[in-house]
Structure 1
Amino acid sequence: MAKVKTGLSKKLLTRVLSVYFILTLIVTVGQILTEYLNAKNHIQSELQTLKNTFSTSLTRAIWELNTPQAVSIAEGLMELPIVEGVQIRDENGNFIADIGRTDDQPMSKVTSGVMRDHKGGTFGYSFPLIFEFSGRTSQVGDVTLYSSVDVIIGRIEVGIFFLVGNAFIKTAFLIFLFLNAFRRMLTNPLEELTEQIGNFDINHLEQSKLRVRIEDDNELKVLQSSYNQLIDDLINFQDRLNQTQGELKTANEQLDEQNLYLEQEVAKKTASLSQIMLDLERQKDELMQNQHELKQENETRRQVEEQLRKSNTELAESMETLEMAKDQLLESERMASLGGLVAGIAHDVNTPLGVGVTAASFLEDRIKHLRQSFEDKSLTSGNMNSFLDEAEQTTTLLMSNLNRASELVASFKQVAVDQTSEAERDFDLKEYLEEVIQSLAPNLKKTRHQIHIDCPENLQIRCAPGVIAQIFTNMVMNSVIHGFEDKKQGQIDIRISQDDENVLVDYKDNGKGLTEEQLNKLFEAFFTTKRGKGGSGLGTHIMYNLVTQTLKGQIEADSKPGEGLHYQIRFPAKKPA
């Protein structure tokens, strides 16, 4: 019998120990990583604690322009074991001290304490230096304290050696324990069973039974009993086989007699089959003729199907052309809305900018006269006080108008960017809606229409803001253009509430309203009451698609002639994936 190259017990032991070794390695590495991270957190905490120790003295030194004292403090910090580098910058970003292992810093000011990782295995804690004087605060510079991985390794080196040694000792003891247990309980009994099974003799079945001493009542003992039972069954099978062979011999004799009878019957049936074959040949000719007729009919149908397929292709191309035209019209409507915003904002921004230019020119002229008086040595206290009063009034006027222009541009910029972008973000609905209404101010300032917004504070939603801007812009402009066509002073009420996970929008105006026929076609594409007067008929259609498809919500409209238009919109506050 061939010898086994790799025993079952050895494979089992190898796999068990491999799994244990891998688990031990993973746990050890995890413990080392935990030690490393804890040590790094402690060092970072110590760097942050150092801020309270020396920031006051260092801030005063920089405020008093005492550079040697600042450098001395930096050198003192370098004496600490955890500090491997110190950078001190003034308020202009210039280095006062750059000692030890440091890295490049961004040019922007450090406004709050921040921890950063740097190349070369270093990390640093940066924080601003704030000086308080007469109740006012001023940032005089910033400081960055550096430490490195070497400091962390130095702290946890003993712990690492202990973890590795502990894992090695446990693994060695487990290997020794498993080797002895596997040899006594599995390897030796399996070798005896294999040797006795190899001595199996078919002619001496009783002597081929297994006789191995197994102390425990385990699977090997069950295997021995099952093998011995198999030998007993084999002995019984041999006895039955001999008996069956005698019965088979008698059955063969009876079979010979039956075969002779069957040959005679076959001769009779052969004559009948010949006649049947002739009938089948005739039926075959008839089927061939029918098949030829069916082939001609299928060819005719194939030609008809080919013509239908061409017609379907042409129809599909026409549908694609229509879809592209529809998408272009929708995009044109969106860009037309954005163009209207641009024109209105540009006109409103020109007014405060013109006032600002005039004020700046006046201030420039007054400064020239003041400089001339100073150079001529004719400057008096009265002239100086007059100049200061005029300069204060001029700068106040200049700042107020520039702030007004900045607010208009910022509001338009946010709304315009959102209308041309489909990026989703979290935003406050009330603040954003106020920005949208602000961007529509140029279209409303020549009218006496009023817009009232009732929205909860801090109502956060997540979607593409341009969708919200487009919906409310279309509703407001539809009310102004269509609803208030014959009305000098219109009223728009927008009430917003939240119901569980949904946002509810209730929009009403007191315009001229719609008839039942117009209301039924309100959301249809290209339906407008201003046909030939600039109306495209896509505004409400875009609103419907944005609410139902983009926001996954619902929109309903209700109106009667003379009672205004009422929209009810519901959509999820967090857009579903």
Structure 2
Amino acid sequence: MKKISLSRKLLTKVLTIYIGLTVVITAVQIVSEYYLAKNHIENELKTLQKTFSGSLTRAIWELNVQQSSTIATGLLAMPSIEGVILRDESNEIITKLGQIIDGVEIPIEPGDEQILINKGNVEIFGYVYPLIFEFSGRPIQVGDVTLFSSSNIVIERIEVALYLLVFKALLITTILFIIILVTFKRLLSQPLYELTEQIENFDIERLEQSKIELGLVDQNELVVLQDAYNSLLDRIAGYSKQLENAHKDLIEANNKLDDQNLMLEQEVAKKTANLSRVMLDLESQKKELEKSQKELKAGMNVKNKAEEALMGKHKELEQSMEELKSAQVQLVESEKMASLGGLVAGIAHDVNTPIGISVTASSYLTEQIKVINEKYQDKTLSPKSLERFINEANESIKLITTNLKRASDLVASFKQIAVDQASEAIRNIELHNYTHDIVNSLKPHLKKTQHTIEISCPKDLNMRCPAGAISQIFTNLIMNSLIHGFEKMRQGQIKIAITEEADETVKIVYRDNGKGVSRDVLSKLFDPFFTTKREKGGSGLGTHITYNLVKQTLHGQLVAESELGHGLTYIITIPKVTPVEQDVL
């Protein structure tokens, strides 16, 4: 049993993105709290300066050093102040207090308002305030005071808030992880495990027992995939039964043909012996002319009867040939439907991926709506939470829209190609876009390889033809290149060049750089039931169907060119408008 890692990868990516965003947002909040606290301390320093500037100014004016030192000591006792420098009018230091500025040379130049220095891992910031004394109505600066604080004070102010932020982020992340893990396991991991296990038990001989039964109540995409898979098994069973009946009819027709050939040989041998005997009798009994004539007439009567019998056998032989042709047509239709079945399986897998991503984003958005609703009901909804929810909701909706559009484009391309391959109706097509749609429908066969397809076609080239024939031709040619031409190759290249000719025809040159075929194989390339992959399940009808579609359905010409080891080239010439009175294969 192979491990199903899709849900694990989705869960890992979602949680990685969320944890990354949580770390970034938490870091931004921490930095914001730090600078808010620092700004608050700056305001406190300014307030304290205004409070004590008057008494400090008077003490310095009166040359009362003891009083100014006492006031500076009182300032240092404030929780937000870790250092004080008091200078006189000649910039001489009167008092320097505070352990944090001990041993640190602090240059204070005239006109400085803010000082920023680093002491180890601690950031020290200070603010210089001039001390102005009014004498006789004239302001005189008697000195200045510098108040210092540090990042340690800021961190002490926000320490509790930091712990709460980290705890909140860890709690929300843990709860979200548990919710997403349970949801992923119930809605994706377990159903995918059951789906894979039941598909691995597929048995071609027991199609009815190989059907999938997931037991899901919700009508989600996995249920749609289950129904599509079971429907495909029903169609395969029907096609197998039709193929078996056609095979039986073919064997019965071959047996009848062998019997008729044996009877015909016996009749011819018998009549030949009679004629020889008659000739011998004529030569040996010349004298008995009348008797010989009667015997000759009798022989002629026998011959006429033999000819009549031969004509009857000939009609039976023609009927057998018609039955063979009918069996061939049924085999061709089976080949077409088998190709369509492969297309369905590939496109179903590719559509499942964007739909699964959309379901995941929708589930995440639902959980966020519940969280925001609970905060709203509890009246704990903050503007930041609402803004974060709106951003996450926009990202989720964008993810859902992008992936649903991708799934819609895949289904639209597949729908047109599948309808065309099952229909023989004539309609107008724009060949440039239609060719790209065909290639898009085959991408499930290409995505695990490094093969490339290049298309060169005028954008205004319109045709009126059976679109299903065009789709079947390109599908057969591309699949033949992938299966036969690019066998054991890593990087195959297919080039399709489409041009409009002057005689109202369209020329298509299909070329691959595969291993090519020999001249002997090239001469049998379009023969029915000819294949080099018979032992691996090849039917030998792909190129034969393509040849009939070009010649009979589209009334065109098809030529193949190849050399062993130098790729294979098909040159197709078809009219832009297919005649209405065509015989459709």
Q: TM-score, normalised by structure 2?
A: 0.48
